[in-house]
């Protein structure tokens, strides 16, 4: 399951540490986004709770899919 994770303000400077802890908790990390204090990646659904408990993590969400209408649609 695709995930997006947000880090607490106080841990924004120590982002790499939080990323390590997320990895240890079972997250496959795709991108670390320091300007946003966010991390993206994936994990099993069963691991979501554990990831939320990781020190420094404020929110864990399933990544939503975005889909535009077909290019020939009048409304886009």
Partner 1 sequence: MSSATGPPADGASSPEAGTTGSYLVLLEEEDVDASISALKNAAGVSVTSAADLEAGALDAEQLRAEPSVVFDRLAVAVVTVEPDQLEAINASVADAASPLSVVEPERRVFALETPAPGGGGISPAEQAPALSADYLRGFRDATQCLTSSVGGAQAAALPELAPTAVDESQVTWGLQAAKVPSSRYSGRGIRVAVLDTGLDLRHPDVKGRTVVHRSFIAGQEVQDGNGHGTHCIGTSCGPRTPGRLPRYGIAFDAEIYAGKVLSNEGSGSDRGILAGINWAVTSGCRVVSMSLGASLPCPGTGQGFSPVFERAAQRARRAGTAIIAAAGNDSSRPAQVCPVSHPANCPSIMAVAALDSRTRVASFSNRGFNPEGGQVDIAAPGVDVRSSWPSPTLYRSISGTSMATPHVAGVAALLAEANPRASATELVSLLTSTARRLPLPAVDVGAGIVQAP
Contacts to partner 1 by CB under 8 A: 2-6, 12, 30-31, 33-38, 40-41, 58-61, 63-71, 73-76
Both tokens of 52, joined, read 């939320």
Query: Which is nearest to 47 in space by CA: 38, 60, 57, 63?
Result: 60
Q: Which is nearer to partner 1, 46 or 71 (CB)?
A: 71
- Output 45 or 70, the one with its CB closest to partner 1: 70
Q: Which is nearer to partner 1, 45 or 75 (CB)?
A: 75
Least distance CB 32 / partner 1 (angstroms): 9
Helix (H) or strand (E) holding 17: helix 15-24
Does an H or E element contain 50, and which? helix 48-53
> 54 with 6: CB under 8 angstroms?
no
We find the least distance from the C-beta atom of residue 25 to partner 1, in angstroms, to be: 17
């Amino acid at each position: 399951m695709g995930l997006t994770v947000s880090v607490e303000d106080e841990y924004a400077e120590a982002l790499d540490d939080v990323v390590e802890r997320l990895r240890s908790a079972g997250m496959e990390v795709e991108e670390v986004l320091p300007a946003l204090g966010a991390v993206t990646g994936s994990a099993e659904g069963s691991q979501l709770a554990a990831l939320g408990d990781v020190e420094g993590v404020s929110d864990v969400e399933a990544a939503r899919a975005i889909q535009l209408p077909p290019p020939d649609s009048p409304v886009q």
